[in-house]
Amino acid sequence: MKKNFNLEESYLEIFLTKTISKTDLLELLTQEKISFGQNFNLETANQFDMGMILMHDTPTKKLLQQVEILRANKYQKIKPLKEIEQLISNIEKYDREKLANIYLQAPFDPLAQKIIEEALNNKSSQLTKEDILFFFLEGFLQS
């Protein structure tokens, strides 16, 4: 479970590991001169690992600029970070329970909905406010 919610890093994580194509991700990796060797197979490559390697090996500000260019050129349906910041700022003031209940009014993802429902029923749940913000971010990115 997430301990601290960093909007920029979370945005990059979702965009790189779940949203863009593996081909576009590989292009970003190549721009950063990150390679995976001769036996690399894009078809079987793990997109999550590829995205996390790129995030680890590239300064956040530089990667945000590259992602914004790619988003503007190929993924216009994805909301830009500035718009996401606005949406998150409207809800981050709420506590964990209020956020959870807001999410459940119009859930973006059935799995996240189930996790949140179970957390609300189990007071010893490890689900944090930051986790719920991450679920919102995923939904905002894809809606």
Q: What is the pLDDT of residue 76?
A: 93
Both tokens assigned to 120: 């609300």
Residues in the chain: 143
In sequence order, which ranges of 42-109 are alpha helices (DSSP H)? 47-57, 60-74, 81-91, 96-105
pLDDT above 70 for 19: yes
Mean pLDDT of the chain, nearest integer:
90
Q: Average of pLDDT values for 104-133? A: 90
Q: Average of pLDDT values for 126-135? A: 92
Identify whether the C-beta of residue 137 lies closer than 8 Å to the C-beta of residue 8: no
Query: What is the rounded CA–CA span in Å between residue 26 and residue 93?
Result: 37
Sketch the domain layout of the chain as residue ranges.
7-78, 84-142
Q: Average of pLDDT values for 81-97? A: 92
CB atoms within 10 A of CB 30: 10
Among the listed residues 92, 87, 85, the one whose alpha carbon sits nearest the alpha carbon of residue 133 = 92
pLDDT tier for residue 5 given thresholds of 50, 70 and 90: confident
pLDDT above 80 for 10: yes
Query: What is the rounded CA–CA span in Å between residue 71 and residue 43?
Result: 22
Q: pLDDT digit string (tens) for 29-72?
A: 989 988 777 777 778 888 998 999 999 999 999 999 999 999 99
Q: What is the pLDDT of residue 4?
A: 67
Both tokens assigned to 137: 């971010």
Q: What is the pLDDT of residue 3?
A: 53
Q: What is the pLDDT of residue 39?
A: 77
